[in-house]
Amino acid sequence: MTVKLVNVSKKIRKNVILNNISYQFDKGKIYGLAGRNGSGKTMLIRAIAGLLIPSSGKVIIDGEVLHNQIDFPKSMGVTIENTEFPKDLTGLQNLVALSKIKHQATVNDIKSTFQRIGLSEPEWNTKVAKYSLGMRQKLSIAQALFEKPNLLLLDEPTNGLDQESTTRLRQTLKAEAEHGSTIVLASHNKDDLNFLCDIVVRIDHGSIVG
Ligand SMILES: Nc1ncnc2c1ncn2[C@@H]1O[C@H](COP(=O)(O)OP(=O)(O)OP(=O)(O)O)[C@@H](O)[C@H]1O
């Protein structure tokens, strides 16, 4: 999937959150958004996901303009910080409930996604209320991955993960990109940016600066 931003700006009241961003994210590549707290990484991810309507400019997904020709990218997995899941359901029950919306994934697809990112069977059968930070992060990533989207948007995906889970996730994302997914992730982790990402996009005060 190709994501093209043309002069995208977002103003909230008097604050310029995204400042005239033009950029193209290409198929099969992993892009790392880097920048200080509050620089605009999450807002850029939200704009690509169709969750934030630009004040001006266009986000074009495979030639179709968001909020004009399409409401959301057609094949997208997204994690935004602090994704909430119903707590009285297990991890597996949560994703089974989501899978019923689009009917694109089976229970086996969900289980194999959990296995790929290292959420074990006893864990996926535990209620989310009892999840640790890392387990919630894995559920959130599994939620983004299980329908095999062509576009993956991940906000700080290795936050809260232990070393083994981080390595496993990096291998999974590399494999997804090799299969043609476009991946955009925000991270403060230098190893994510230096070793996982093909291209690092630096954001400062809502602008791309390098
Ligand atoms: N709901 C909101 N209303 C108004 N401004 C907001 C809102 N959410 C975020 N902002 C502002 O938008 C700017 C960009 O925030 P964003 O969350 O994109 O930063 P970030 O680069 O992801 O930061 P971090 O590294 O801390 O996650 C900040 O100035 C922030 O204060």
Question: Is 138 close to ligand 1, i.e. is its CB under 6 Å away?
Answer: no
Between CA 139 and CA 154, with CA 88 as vertex, the angle to 5 degrees is 20
Tokens standing for 111? Answer: 């289980």
Task: Report if residue 83 sits inside a domain.
Answer: no
Q: Is residue 52 part of a domain?
A: yes
pLDDT of amino acid 33: 98
**The domain spanning residue 50 has which CATH number?**
3.40.50.300
Instruction: Please tell me if the CB atom of residue 92 comes closer than 6 angstroms to any atom of ligand 1.
Output: no
Instruction: Tell me what ipTM this predicted complex has.
Output: 0.96
CA distances (Å), origin 199, targets 24, 39, 65, 163, 192: 12, 18, 24, 23, 11
Provide the pLDDT for residue 153: 98
How far, in Å, is the centroid of ligand 1 from the Cα of 37? 8
Predicted pLDDT of residue 129: 97
| DSSP single-letter state for residue 130 | G
Domain count, the chain: 1
86 lines ligand 1 (CB under 6 A): no
pLDDT of residue 165: 95
Q: Report how far ligand 1's centroid is from the alpha carbon of 18 (Å).
A: 10
Range of the domain at 57: 1-74+182-210
pLDDT for the residue numbered 83 = 76
User: Does residue 130 lie in a domain region?
Assistant: no
The whole-number pLDDT of residue 21 equals 98
Q: CA 41, CA 70: separation in Å to the nearest integer?
A: 23
Range list of β-strands (E), 13-92: 15-25, 30-34, 56-61, 64-65, 76-79
| Within a domain: 136 | no
Nearest ligand 1 atom to the CA of 40 is: 18
Q: Is residue 123 part of a domain?
A: no
| Full pLDDT tens readout for the chain, 210 residues | 999 999 999 999 999 999 999 999 999 999 999 999 999 999 999 999 999 999 999 999 999 999 999 999 999 999 987 778 999 999 999 999 999 988 889 999 999 999 999 999 999 999 999 999 999 999 999 999 999 999 999 999 999 999 999 999 999 999 999 999 999 999 999 999 999 999 999 999 999 997
* pLDDT value for 81: 73
The CA-CA-CA angle for residues 27, 70, 206, to 5°, reads 65
Per-residue confidence (pLDDT) for residue 51, from 0 to 100: 94
Cβ(5)–Cβ(52) under 8 Å? no
101 lies in some domain: no
Task: Specify if 93 maps to a domain.
Answer: no
Q: Which residue of 17, 37, 153, 185 sits with most ligand 1 atoms within 8 Å of its CB, as the best mutation to test the pocket? A: 17
Contact 94, 86 (CB under 8 A): yes
165 located within any domain:
no
